[in-house]
Amino acid sequence: MSTYAIGDVQGCYLELQSLLNEINFDNNNDRLWFVGDLVNRGPHSLQTLRFVKSLGTNAKVVLGNHDLHLLAASKNIRPLSKKDTIKEILVAKDKEQLINWIKSRPLLITDSDLGFTMVHAGLAPQWTLEHAKKFAYECELILQSEKIDDFLTLMYSDKPNIWSESLNSYERQCFIINCFTRIRFCKNNGMLDFNTKIAPGEQKKSLMPWYALPKRKTIDDKIIFGHWSTVSLGNEENFKKYNVYPIDTGCLWGGKLTAIRLEDEKMFSVPSKQPKF
């Protein structure tokens, strides 16, 4: 039995099927971890969502920012943009089942036997893994409660952008969800920068990737993340030094769809069928 973590699919269903063929995926024995952003911007969001849901307990999924955007759109909290490709989900006959399945997904997965933790975007440098698990669970409960509408409304804010134990409940939850699903660069003091999306090494000197911050408290934990398609344009040799495994290789933008087998850390990729961007 093998466990494969797969990068951001974003509706690229055909590439996902090619990748599963590449790894000889056996639904009776193998397990899949999806790093979030199953849907949106790609051509087959509905087909992708239905397929991953059909895998049952053999597939574990963490929520990404596009998955949360789907939840917000389903409640008319956020209008669709011209780039969104999730309308087909919102008018599907099984919409309610799909939406309920999505909102019951976690923000963090960890497996002590495999020695890996997976989140969509990253972790605040001030958090230990135990902190991260606690904060993820806090927000997961809200997504399945009557407070979900308020939560989905506040998650689009860029403030607060630095962690503090003194944050009130709404500020705290906004920071937590943004950290799990949107973080890329930070300042040296841990302040998040949501505007810079370029490859590591091209940023201003005042910024550094979240995983490279000094004294990051999860430096000894193996962290899988996606969200950042240009991260693979940086110095890949540094990733092992920071104990991180970025697996968003830009399938949506004409790059690749990538999986890592957790038992031996072997990487597998298939080329994208999307236009090169």
E strand spans, 68-189: 108-111, 116-119, 185-187
Indicate whether 205 belongs to any domain.
Answer: no
Indicate whether 171 belongs to any domain.
Answer: yes
Per the structure, the count of domains in the chain is 1
Indicate whether 276 belongs to any domain.
Answer: no
CB 127 within 8 A of CB 134: no
Q: Please give the residue range of the domain that contains residue 92.
A: 3-184+216-271
pLDDT-based confidence at 262, cuts 50/70/90? Answer: very high
E strand spans, the chain: 3-6, 31-34, 59-61, 108-111, 116-119, 185-187, 192-193, 207-209, 222-225, 244-246, 256-261, 266-271
Given a cut of 90, is residue 75 above it in pLDDT? yes
Indicate whether 156 belongs to any domain.
Answer: yes
Task: State residue 10's pLDDT score.
Answer: 98
**Beta-carbon neighbour count of residue 214 at 10 Å?**
9
Average pLDDT over residues 192-197: 92
CA–CA gap between residue 69 and residue 90 (Å, rounded): 12
Average pLDDT over residues 172-194: 94
Given a cut of 70, is residue 275 above it in pLDDT? yes
Indicate whether 51 belongs to any domain.
Answer: yes
pLDDT-based confidence at 30, cuts 50/70/90? Answer: very high
Task: State residue 276's pLDDT score.
Answer: 87
Whole-model pTM? 0.96
Indicate whether 55 belongs to any domain.
Answer: yes
Task: State residue 232's pLDDT score.
Answer: 80
Average pLDDT over residues 6-15: 98
Indicate whether 232 belongs to any domain.
Answer: yes
Tens digit of each residue's pLDDT (9 = 90 or more) over 245-261: 999 999 999 999 999 99
Tens digit of each residue's pLDDT (9 = 90 or more) over 214-246: 989 999 999 999 999 999 865 566 798 999 999
Task: State residue 155's pLDDT score.
Answer: 84
CATH of the domain at 24: 3.60.21.10
Average pLDDT over residues 13-30: 97
Averaged pLDDT of the chain: 95
Task: State residue 233's pLDDT score.
Answer: 61
Average pLDDT over residues 186-191: 92
Indicate whether 204 belongs to any domain.
Answer: no
